[in-house]
Amino acid sequence: MDLSQYNRIVTHDDLDGAVSAALVSRIAGIENFYFTGPVSIQDGRTATTESDIVCDLPCPVRFGMWFDHHPGNLEDVRLRDLDPDDLSGKFSTEASCARVIFDYFRGQYDFPPFMAETVARTDRIDSFNYRTMEEWREPLPERLLADSIFVASTWQRGYHRFLSHLVLLLRNGSMEDALDDHQIGSAVAEYRERERRSLVLVEPDATFHQDDPGREVVVVDLTRHNRRPDVIRNTAFILHPEALAALLVTNQFRGGRKTNDLNFSMSLSFLMNAREHSKDVGEIMRRLNMGDGHPGAGAGRISCRSKEEMMRVKDQTIAEIIRMWKEF
């Protein structure tokens, strides 16, 4: 397949996005990467063209090829009266976008053996396919690389350079090889210290909603903080291992300043992977028209014009999430 007409990869700024970019880069030889989040695409703040290959993100108006696996993004395409089968690229509800890309090109391109393992590891972490706290905390390569990305995302400078560096490492070698890189290893070590601090920060704000007597969803409300709280959502499961899901609520910060806009981030516990259930966090975010995600994890954002509106909307939204959680 001739991909010479494409000169940039626009991808999600997480591990699945990085692995997706590594796969495409391996095939097309592209080393021009742009990393962003889904909201930036939906709001039109990320400009794309027909020379871009877009991975693990909502489908933009202009693009060359599009690869994704989020059901909400597929619905957006259909609402635009587009047939996803007619679009260049591939959509499939796989465990990761990396899997979609790997399967799409596998019959046309011989990937090196290490990439099959890289994609399998990405499947696991992007779908949060862990059954116990011990499995999640086991220092496997995919978990450590995801940790390093989390740390880099909080840096004021160098985040995109870090991700570009990681993409090239994953293009040319295994996840284990990437962890031998000094920059990646330093970020992993920094994550361990931040996890320790996160436990201290999350503990006083981790509670259960009054409409959740079974204590199934631990709510971590950090909106009282005037500085951006440096927390890791899943540390709530370390504090409350009985919880079936964790909901993190924060204000959005712009330029280091707190705004009245709210961020909601939710994920299922490892306990849910060992039982039959119909919970779908991504669908909760979609039904509330605030975001998207997977069955196991999702996120959304709500804009508020004042502090009073923010407090009211926060309480209403948390109550709605708990209500919908019970309905699934």
In the block, tokens 């399998």 appear at: 120
Banded pLDDT at 121 (limits 50, 70, 90):
very high
In contact, 247 and 263? CB cutoff 8 Å: no
Banded pLDDT at 274 (limits 50, 70, 90):
confident
Q: What is the pLDDT of residues 74-94, one digit of tens each?
A: 988 999 999 999 999 999 999
Q: What is the pLDDT of residues 216-226, one digit of tens each?
A: 999 999 999 99
* pLDDT at residue number 323: 97
Q: State how far Cα 3 lies from the chain centre.
A: 27
- Judge whether residue 188 has pLDDT over 80: yes
Q: What is the pLDDT of residues 135-149, one digit of tens each?
A: 888 999 999 999 999
In contact, 207 and 219? CB cutoff 8 Å: yes
Hey, where are the domains in the chain?
8-128, 204-327
43 SS3 class: coil
Banded pLDDT at 186 (limits 50, 70, 90):
very high
* Topology at the third CATH level for domain 204-327: Diaminopimelate Epimerase; Chain A, domain 1 (3.10.310)
Mean pLDDT for 315-325 is 98
Residue 321: name the closest of 289, 294, 273, 276 by CA. 289
141-174 in b/e form (b: 16+ CB < 10 A) is bbbbbbbbbbbbeeeeeebeebbbbbbbbbbebb
Give the rounded percent of residues in the chain with a pLDDT score beyond 90.
Answer: 80
- Judge whether residue 270 has pLDDT over 90: no
Residues whose CB is less than 8 angstroms from the CB of residue 319 and which lie 6 or more positions away in sequence, other chains included = 209, 211
* pLDDT at residue number 187: 96
